[in-house]
Structure 1
Amino acid sequence: MTDSLRGFFDEIDAPSRSLVVVNRTEPEPVRSLLDSLLEEQSVAITERDIPDTDSDVVILVEDGEVIARSTLDDLLDSVLLINSDLFKTGAIDLDEVVLPDVLARLDEVPFRLRGYPHSNKEKLLLVVVSRVIERIAAEAGGGTLRASFQRLSRIRDERGTRKVYEALGNAGVDVHVYGIGDADPSASLPVTVHRGRSYPYRRSWFVVFTPPESDVGRPAALVALEDEPNVWDGFWTFRPELVSRIDRHIASAL
């Protein structure tokens, strides 16, 4: 059993996956947005023209097989044309957050993602995955959600984040939040607070949901670690056994 969040990175071994943009009619800047989202990652992006096939479709390929597909419009609406400030301010409601299939199926692919000013897009992928996991928890209306914020004051200061965590607690989810104790979210929100100053509290970004035992809800976890300022190593997973062990590690170690 791993003794750190970093140890879980050694347990993911995703097959090689690549994205193919099929019959693109959207202008070049749209392709550039997609490139910027996954710049310098292990997921290659190519283009193909395939007769008698829909235009502006993105497919995810693994071992020569198509395992997911989404339209470019799906990607534009959910990720490419938005920014993280929309989540912080609450301009995007939780029930509007969607992760297109071709991105969801990049589960257990390790990413190294940069925030501003290194990149305007890369870190957004972790933000969207986090919100999707929170949406899964809210729709389940139960279970346990554990989330780290580095600084607990972020929950207070980001209106959109505060709104999400109020909704989660009111929906019946057992919510646990982790970070440096520069604020007390439990004073105004139905959450359990865990304070600390060790590395996992200061430099981890995780959102982990385990559904109720009586529910067939979808377990999900995102784990990311900041080893350089605003540069994150991360992955997400929907594998029940792995999600369960990540949850147990956080519950016992933090």
Structure 2
Amino acid sequence: MTGSLRGFFDEIDAPSRSLVVVNRTEPQPVRNLLDALLEDQSVAISERDLPETDTDVVLLIEDEEVIARSALDELLESVLLINSDLYKTGAVDLDEIALPDVLAGLDEVPFRLRGYPHSNKEKLLLIVVSRVIERIAAETGGGTLRASFQRLSRLEDERGTRDVYEAVGDAGVDVHVYGVGDADPGATLPVTVHQGRSYPYRRSWFVVFTPPPAADAGRHAALVALEDEPNVWDGFWTFRPELVARIERHIATAL
């Protein structure tokens, strides 16, 4: 059994996957946005023109096989043209949030992502994945969601985040939130609060959902990220039920 959240990084598959933009008609700045999202990551991005194939399609490739595909418009609408402030303010409704198949298909690929001012886009990927997991929890209407915030006051300061956790708790999910105790969101939200000042409370970013036993096993989802440098995160997400369950058990017993 792993002794820390960092230990789970040694258990992910870390598959070699790449993206191919096919028959692009969108202008070069759109391609630049995609490059910026995955800058300096292990996921290579290339372009190809293929006859008798739709335009502006992005393919996810593993071992020379296409394992997922998304329209470039999907990436623009869900990630590339989105500002993280829209999630903080609640301008994007939870039921509108989606993760294109080619990004969902990057599960268990390790990322090292930077926030502002190093990058305006990279950290957004973790924000979108977090919201998608929260949406899965709300739609399931049961199970357990565990999420860390570094500072619990974020649940009061960020209206969008507060609204999401109110909705998830009201849906019947057992919600546990973790962070430094600079606020008590449990006084006004349907959540159980865990306060601490050790490394996992101050420097981890996790959103982990385990559905109730009767639910579809495909509803399992987890994101784990660790901040070893200021605003620089090592992270991954996974939908593997066994791994998600073990991450959840570790958080429940170690924090």
- Quick one: which amino acid aligns to residue 74 of structure 2? D
**CA deviation vs aligned residue, 1:50-69 (integer Å, no higher than 9, x gap):** 01110000000000000000
Secondary structure class of the residue paired with 1:215? coil
Report what 1:190 is aligned to.
Answer: 190
In the alignment, is residue 232 of structure 1 matched against residue 205 of structure 2? no
1:23-172 superposed matches below 5 A: 23-172=23-172
SS at structure 1 position matched to 2:47: strand
Q: Deviations over 1:63-102 (max 9, x none)?
A: 0000000011000000000111000000000000000000
Structure 2 counterpart of 1:225, which letter? L
Deviation at 1:215, TM superposition (A): 1.4
CA positional deviation for 1:28: 0.1
Comparing 224-233 and 5-14, the one that deviates more: 5-14
Deviation at 1:115, TM superposition (A): 0.1
Runs (4 or more) in structure 1 with deviation over 2 Å come to none
Could you list the runs of 5+ residues in structure 1 that have no partner in the other structure?
none
- Tell me which residue corresponds to 1:216: 216
The one-letter code of the counterpart of 2:121 is: K
- TM-score, normalised relative to structure 1: 0.99
Letter of the aligned partner of 1:115 in structure 2? G
- Give the secondary structure class of the aligned counterpart of 2:88: helix
Equivalent position amino acid for 1:47 in 2: E
Task: State the distance in 2 between where 1:25 and 1:216 align.
Answer: 39
Equivalent residues, number: 254
Contact 2:15 2:108 in 1 (8 A): no
Shift of 1:25: 0.4
SS in 2 for 1:88: helix
Q: CA deviation at 1:14?
A: 2.5
**Counterpart Cα distance in 2 of 1:61 and 1:224:** 24
Shift in Å, 1:2 = 0.3
Percent of aligned positions that are identical = 84
Identify the residue that residue 2 of structure 1 maps to in structure 2: 2
Give the whole-Å Cα distance in 2 for the aligned partners of 1:190 and 1:131: 18
- Taking the aligned partners of 2:12 and 2:142, their CA distance within structure 1 comes to 28
Structure 2 gaps of 5+ residues are none
What is the Cα-based RMSD across aligned positions, in Å? 0.5
2: CA distance, partners of 1:6 / 1:186:
28
Structure 2 residue 252 is matched with structure 1 residue 251? yes
